[in-house]
Structure 1
Amino acid sequence: MTVTAPAQVSATETGLNRITADDDLFFKLHSLYPNALVNQLAYRFETRLDRELLEQWHAHLAVSSVARRVRTTRFPIARAHWEPATSTMPLVWSDEPVADEDALDWFLARAQVEFDPESGEVWQLAGAPLASGGTLVTFVASHVACDGGGAMVALTDSLNRLNAGLAPDRDSSSGRLVGPVAGRGRLAADLADARHQLRAVARGVRAARKAKGVSEPARNPRPVEPKLDLPETYRAADAIVQVDLAEWNAVAHAAGGTTNGLLIGLAVGVFGRTGRIGDSAKVRVDIPHSMREADDRRANATTGLPISVDYRAGERADLPTIRAALKAAGLAYRNPETIPPIQHLQPVQMLLPKFVLHKFARTAKAPECLCTNMGSTAQQIATIGGHRATDIVMRPVVNPGPIELFRGIEVGVNFAFSHDETTARLVVTGADPDRFPTREALQDVIAAEFAAWGLTPRFW
């Protein structure tokens, strides 16, 4: 994720809901790596939900703020904009019960969806009964159309309306945030936006020059060896871990840290235990931070705060140091003069043709350690039509792809944390094929790191 730079023109400045630099980046990457980046919400209920209830929720989502499509323009420099979706993917319902032990695999399979941002087919709702009598439900959305915060806006509003017995309606729901359909004045609007963009480019270049001495923490190069003999298509290893919340909080407090600090400390420990880095290495950790405001019309409104964390083999991460680094990173990203130059150049990025961005993307590197803390926000959407979920998790999805792609972009580990009143849940993705060839390999490393902290993990 990248921060919206001060030089960036607002999405609504020229009337239409123009896409942001982050939206533009995800949209262009979609054409290179279709559906590689999606967000998923996964529910597990002890009660049986019927198909009709999910169809009703689907109808609300179809007019929500996630039901949007990209309307491109042929006018040079002017940005594309968002309009209400013209097409919706139907509910996927399975009458075949899923075995309880196969719930995680069912969720993973449902995340592989072919989305189309230009028609608005950018999200999908699915459900299936559990063999034990419960129900599995999943919502998956393209990162082009929403980040985690954007998804929460649509999900919260649609469920509130469903649970209140209201009828689906775009004008009185979150769907009103998507924006108007371009009319006869589209050419004039595009001309105005082109002028705004040129001014944004000039401001961004000036700001980048002023911040030319600012740098971000470096990432570690991925060692070439070992290189395991694996299939050409690689599926990242995924695990869902549960810990008693009281135990989690007690461990964090005893170590002089916070929930965020313990999350990051565990992630760095798991990353280091793979042998991908050596003792005393500094790990770059990226922490997504929402910039979303009330009635925000943006699809993506997230910044990434990078920090550097020391890894000591055989030792636990220092939580007070992590806490201080997080505070310093937050302060730095509030001041344009301490934001790295690349962030100020986002308006320039939007002018790059797709083939140029593709060239850069093929050599770009993914985060080596990504930590997302969603806190208790998922509890706002835990009830569907009177049924409260036993378990609910949100996660960024890394879909299967060519194994050499994963090696080339040097993906590491992703941690996504959430909790309810009693239980902390972590969705962990290990996306380095030669360190995490299987789910079992990932779980072994997680179990060892948790044991070092005195935590007792329970795996789905």
Structure 2
Amino acid sequence: MSARGGVPARLTVVDEIFLRTHRGLGTPIALQGLWRTRDRIEVELLEDLHARLRRGPLGRRVVRARVPGARRSWRPTVRAHPLDLHGEIAASDVLGWADTLGADLDPEYAPGWRLSSAPLDDGGTVIALTCSHVLADARGLIIAVDTALTAAAGSGAAPTRPPAVHQSPSATSTLAPNPPAPTGHPHTSEQRHHGRRRPAAALNAVPRSDWADAWEQLLTVLGGTTAAFGTGLRRSSSRVRNATRTTDPLATDPRTGDSRTTDPRTPRMPTVGAVLRFPAADWDRAAAASAGTANSLFVWFVANMLWASGFPGATIEAALPVDTRDEPRVDNDLAMTAITVTRADSPGAIRAKARAAYERRMTSPAGLPEETLQLVPDRLAYAMSRGAGERDILCSNIGTLPPSLHTFGPHECTAIAARAIHPDLTFARRPRTRLSGYLSRDRDTYTLALVSLTPELIPNSPALHRLAEVTAGRLGLSLRTW
């Protein structure tokens, strides 16, 4: 990524790709962490977490540059959606409830994250943190929560004045007033960093002048070859036409062959998702049986679910996000690579393909410097980067969750999941991706969150769950719903 310093003061190319989705240019996407407990959680604990999150690295907003060519910058803010407390919901409807929490997330014109909670009819509680992808990727979101929960555990104190609380079955755009910083612990002014403490001010790096940034951006782009620049513009010209055409109701996506309209008023797509849990020992044993790993079995599992749904292709292209952090940061610190999976591939074969793929990351369009996308208008940048990183399936391995997520105050978290959702996604804006998977490990359990974007093959969540059961059965794996 194009970070200058530990935490970038300006948006990266990846940040701006996700920011454009808030303007109708691309697939809307938000990240979500979900926690469940067996018992009720006190409102004071939720208020404390809300206050710490808004004072932490998620507490920032996008500011446009005043000089053409300069990148947008990050500025600290405590502006946030109020703590969102819902009435009791059925334990079986947790995902349906969570699917509704992605509205009004926009780190430029509205708060970029929301903390929600609801009591369950089985006596437990569910907590959801939903965040615009502009602010962070999945690992970044977990780091933000880890920071807040670690600070709260050491403090043992709630805010002296609670933030505003919204009690409604739906989201609100009302903003909470600025609360005082949580008290009673040095984490209110410092953040842990690699075992030492780093001033919180480092999280809010001051951007250099817009003139200096614009000049450096221009020099970087001009450093690319003129031939590459010309080739990039020629190759993107057809994409510009496709991106701006809104009058042909039978437009066909050249990447997928799917007939779809580009009119944003087209019907919304159905929400199709599932969250499944597997015993970690069984999952690892199934992977090892074919010389695979937990990650390669994950890719195999998602690919074979898609084939089981009726996907006709002899091969499946799998997009694999790669965490590129060299230190814990709450941002989009990732690269993309891809592999081709065949029906005959075992988890062991996929492991070898993935290992090779990690050495060849996806690059910017036509070999241009990636900063080119930040110099051109948003619509042209979207046309040049449209479909970047999209393949038939997405397999995002989030990794092992930190111990701080195992409890919330005195309450044990019995189930944890991380996933992406697509608020208000229409058929016009769906990506090439047909099935997405998000794998995480919590203690002795692997949790697999699945999102289908192909209602033609997988019409509803029960159908998605049945496909998972069939695929797990081939491996002798048992699964539990989340």
Q: TM bucket by the smaller chain?
A: 0.7 to 0.9
**How far does residue 277 in structure 1 lie from its aligned partner after superposition?**
2.6
What is aligned with 1:126? 116
Matched, 1:176 2:169: no
**Which deviates more, 342-351 or 235-244?**
342-351
CA contact (8 A) 1:403 1:433 kept: no
**Which deviates more, 443-452 or 357-366?**
357-366
> Which one-letter code corresponds to 1:101 in the other structure?
S
- TM superposition score normalised by structure 2: 0.79
Distance in 2 between residues matched to 1:358 and 1:63, nearest whole Å: 32
Q: Provide the identity percentage.
A: 26
What is aligned with 1:320? 348
**How far does residue 100 in structure 1 lie from its aligned partner after superposition?**
1.6
Distance in 2 between residues matched to 1:49 and 1:35, nearest whole Å: 35
Cα-to-partner distance string for 1:28-53 (whole Å, 9 max, x where unaligned): 22211599211000011012101111
Q: How does 1:394-433 map to 2 (within 5 A)?
A: 394-406=418-430, 409-433=431-455
Matched, 1:284 2:306: no
**How far does residue 158 in structure 1 lie from its aligned partner after superposition?**
0.9
What is aligned with 1:197? 217
Q: 1:383 aligns with which of 407, 413, 433?
A: 407
The alignment covers a number of residue pairs equal to 420
What is aligned with 1:106? 97
Cα-to-partner distance string for 1:219-242 (whole Å, 9 max, x where unaligned): 9835659xxxxx922123101111
What is aligned with 1:145? 135
Distance in 2 between residues matched to 1:272 and 1:101, nearest whole Å: 28
> Which one-letter code corresponds to 1:350 in the other structure?
Q
Distance in 1 between residues matched to 2:131 and 2:453, nearest whole Å: 20
CA contact (8 A) 1:371 1:414 kept: yes
Matched, 1:332 2:360: yes
Cα-to-partner distance string for 1:238-259 (whole Å, 9 max, x where unaligned): 0111122111111111122110
Cα-to-partner distance string for 1:434-455 (whole Å, 9 max, x where unaligned): 1121112212222221112222
What is aligned with 1:270? 305
What is aligned with 1:216? none
Distance in 2 between residues matched to 1:150 and 1:343, nearest whole Å: 28
CA contact (8 A) 2:396 2:438 kept: yes
Cα-to-partner distance string for 1:287-339 (whole Å, 9 max, x where unaligned): 1111123264x621111121111125xxxx31222111111112234xxxx95
Distance in 2 between residues matched to 1:393 and 1:343, nearest whole Å: 37
Q: 1:356 aligns with which of 380, 388, 403?
A: 380
Distance in 2 between residues matched to 1:261 and 1:295, nearest whole Å: 25
Cα-to-partner distance string for 1:119-175 (whole Å, 9 max, x where unaligned): 561111011111121111000100011111221221111111111116366642375
SS in 2 for 1:447: helix
What is aligned with 1:367? 391
Distance 1:36 1:223, change over 3 A: closer
Distance in 2 between residues matched to 1:33 and 1:161, nearest whole Å: 38
Distance in 1 between residues matched to 2:441 and 2:132, nearest whole Å: 24
> Which one-letter code corresponds to 2:148 in the other structure?
S
Q: How does 1:184-333 map to 2 (within 5 A)?
A: 189-205=209-225, 221-222=256-257, 232-278=267-313, 281-294=314-327, 296=329, 299-312=331-344, 317-333=345-361
SS in 2 for 1:429: strand
What is aligned with 2:456? 434
SS in 2 for 1:375: strand
Distance in 1 between residues matched to 2:364 and 2:107, nearest whole Å: 30
Distance in 1 between residues matched to 2:392 and 2:124, nearest whole Å: 37
What is aligned with 2:263? none
> Which one-letter code corresponds to 1:388 in the other structure?
E
Q: 1:449 aligns with which of 453, 467, 471?
A: 471
What is aligned with 1:77? 69
Cα-to-partner distance string for 1:181-238 (whole Å, 9 max, x where unaligned): 56xxx6xx111111211122134448969xx9xxxxxx9835659xxxxx92212310
Distance 1:145 1:382, change over 3 A: same
**How far does residue 118 in structure 1 lie from its aligned partner after superposition?**
2.0
- TM superposition score normalised by structure 1: 0.83
SS in 2 for 1:62: helix
Distance in 2 between residues matched to 1:156 and 1:431, nearest whole Å: 30
CA contact (8 A) 2:140 2:331 kept: yes
> Which one-letter code corresponds to 1:255 in the other structure?
S
SS in 2 for 1:164: helix
**How far does residue 395 in structure 1 lie from its aligned partner after superposition?**
0.7
CA contact (8 A) 1:201 1:348 kept: yes
Distance 1:375 1:267, change over 3 A: same
> Which one-letter code corresponds to 1:140 in the other structure?
T
What is aligned with 1:115? 105
SS in 1 for 2:341: strand
SS in 2 for 1:325: helix
Structure 1: gaps spanning 5 or more residues: 213-218, 226-230
Distance in 2 between residues matched to 1:131 and 1:35, nearest whole Å: 34
SS in 1 for 2:32: strand
> Which one-letter code corresponds to 2:201 in the other structure?
R
**Which deviates more, 190-199 or 361-370?**
361-370
